[in-house]
Chains A and B, each alone.
Chain A
């Protein structure tokens, strides 16, 4: 049995290593391309200094960061409120509400591009990071509410009742008992909302025209196509904008995996 296991392991090991190369290899290749600048190996940071010296890059990076953080915070507050009310309070049509949120969470964003464009044009909001903050907030709300509702549902009602008997008000029960219990759900949705806001492209490319509101994905998409001209800078910028995501993978991968496993994606 043991020897058979070992034999199998060597085949599996091969596939697993292949898998890792396929997944992480491109990132390493990207790093190599970003370091390579053509003239000398010694100034390997040339591409990076080029980008950071460029004033618009700092602005764009800040835009991305502000948009992602602002929409994550707003979404979290709103979705915690809504999912709390939908699961811990008596509300008519709560099932329909939850179903509505679930079905909207897979909404194809391309289809309302024209209407949203006209809406924000009518509001005279143009090239403003506010537009993207609003859109990202609304588009991540259904997912966040649905996920957090799943976490809230798992807390037994008795816990809340006994807290009330001990003299806790609704708010202090919520703050001191419920909130700590759903902290892993909050962490999971924070991570996913942030990733969504940081990576989103189609709204960003529609609603941003200048550096005032442009985000990193749009800036990267504006690099000339195919290799050659400014390729090193493209790779360097890609790598810089992946840094928050790499940090997330390194430090929060357990949260993501456990969040996915705990059935928030499943029905």
Chain B
């Protein structure tokens, strides 16, 4: 009697879960498998070309300079951006953890960059970018250092740095919020105990604060690395991978391959590589988190 009851209860429960699981299967998991499948074929939608070519896409990928350049750019973009965000975020989180009046107001202000649509952020900083360099140009002309208008937009390094800066502006608040949640649960006694032991400010920070918020740092790093590694909007809207494709990152290259060159097969191969990269990144973090939580249980 009881067993049948449990069964019907489980059936009901599965009935409640089913819609979500089916939707996720249809829209996320099956497309992933299909993308893998497509990466082994030469597929061009409009021309109705669809033939199986095995590993040819991947062989081509290995020799494709433009791909490797985008790969390198991806690593450069996300590592620099995430590192800056981490240190800046840690500093701001420590600052906001202090007790002062109007603390909630400042925290609300912090939310602004994070909540603003990425497109608007990129467009806005694009305007600032243009203003800034036209101002520098007029300044240089007035000082007679140069006698022509320099085209700053054509310098890849500057464009990339600016994109990183925009990313930092937009996502540091996210870092701050996650680190702040960790800082708030550190018990005051820990600091007092360290104070009694004669630890100075820096030692207290290294030995009390950092170990306590290490899980938060890991989670924040995980989310931000994945997000920035597959980030698209900022670079697409701000510089569109330019000047002259020099600042393409993988998502942008992928997007152009799909909707400008209509190479769905090759595009899928890039998508697979990007997917594998993100899988590796997240598994590294997951292993780290798992390891830590096991160590705590012991």
Contacts and interface: CB of A to CB of B under 8 A. Distances in A.
Given A217-B119, A238-B123, A257-B177, A145 B20 contact: yes
A81 interface: yes
A81 B26 CA distance: 19
A2 interface: no
Contacts of B117: 198-199, 201, 216-217, 220, 241-242, 245
A73 interface: no
Nearest to B239: A225
B117 to A, nearest CB: 4
A116 B268 CA distance: 11
Interface stretch (A13-21, A48-56, A153-161, A179-187): A13-21
Contact of B6 (A79, A90, A238, A253): A90
Size bin of chain A's contact surface: 35 or more
A200 B77 CA distance: 21
Contacts of B271: 110-114
A261 B112 contact: no
A228 B130 CA distance: 10
Interface in A37-95: 78-79, 81-82, 84-86, 89-92
Contact of B111 (A97, A216, A253): A253
Given A110-B271, A118-B264, A119-B31, A19 B110 contact: yes
Interface string B104-126: 10111111110111111101111
A141 interface: yes
Contact of B17 (A9, A27, A91, A114): A91
Interface residue tally on B, bucketed by range: 35 or more
A104 to B, nearest CB: 6
A177 interface: no
Nearest to B234: A201
Contacts of A195: 115
A114 B100 CA distance: 50
A206 B110 CA distance: 31
A106 B219 CA distance: 11
Q: Which of A9, A86, A113, A226 has the most CB of B within 10 A?
A: A113
B215 A33 contact: no
B45 A137 contact: no
B233 A267 contact: no
A85 B20 CA distance: 12
Contact of B267 (A79, A114, A241): A114
Nearest to B218: A267
B74 to A, nearest CB: 11
Contacts of B6: 90
B111 A249 contact: yes
Given A78-B20, A118-B264, A19 B92 contact: yes
A110 B107 contact: no
Interface string A210-229: 00000011101101011110
Contact of A110 (B26, B28, B106, B230): B230
Contacts, number: 253
A138 B181 contact: no
Nearest to B16: A85
A78 B258 contact: no
A23 B30 CA distance: 40
B142 to A, nearest CB: 20
B219 A23 contact: no
A11 to B, nearest CB: 10
A167 interface: no
B273 to A, nearest CB: 9
Given A117-B258, A253-B108, A257-B107, A141 B282 contact: no
Contact of B16 (A81, A107, A223, A260): A81
Given A227-B127, A253-B108, A265-B181, A111 B17 contact: no
Given A108-B275, A110-B271, A112-B31, A242 B120 contact: yes
Given A29-B124, A92-B10, 4 more contacts: A16-B106, A26-B125, A114-B267, A261-B181
Interface of A: 9, 12-13, 15-16, 19-20, 22-24, 26-27, 29-30, 33, 78-79, 81-82, 84-86, 89-92, 97, 101, 103-104, 106-119, 121, 134-135, 137-139, 141-142, 145, 195, 198-199, 201-202, 206, 216-218, 220-221, 223, 225-228, 231, 234-235, 238, 241-242, 245, 248-250, 253-254, 256-257, 260-261, 263, 265-267
Q: When A and B form their complex, which 6 residue pairs have the shortest distance between CB atoms, in order from nearest? A: A108-B230, A115-B31, A89-B13, A85-B16, A85-B13, A112-B31
23 contacts: A16-B106, A19-B106, A20-B109, A23-B110, A24-B112, A26-B124, A84-B16, A91-B14, A91-B17, A92-B10, A106-B227, A111-B35, A111-B275, A113-B255, A117-B264, A141-B20, A199-B116, A226-B126, A234-B127, A235-B124, A242-B116, A245-B115, A257-B104
Interface of B: 6, 9-10, 12-14, 16-17, 19-21, 23-24, 26-28, 30-32, 34-35, 38, 45, 92, 95, 98, 100, 104, 106-113, 115-121, 123-128, 130-131, 169, 173, 177-178, 180-182, 184, 215-216, 219, 222-223, 226-227, 229-230, 232-233, 236-237, 240, 251, 254-255, 258-259, 264, 267-268, 271-272, 274-275, 278, 282, 289, 293
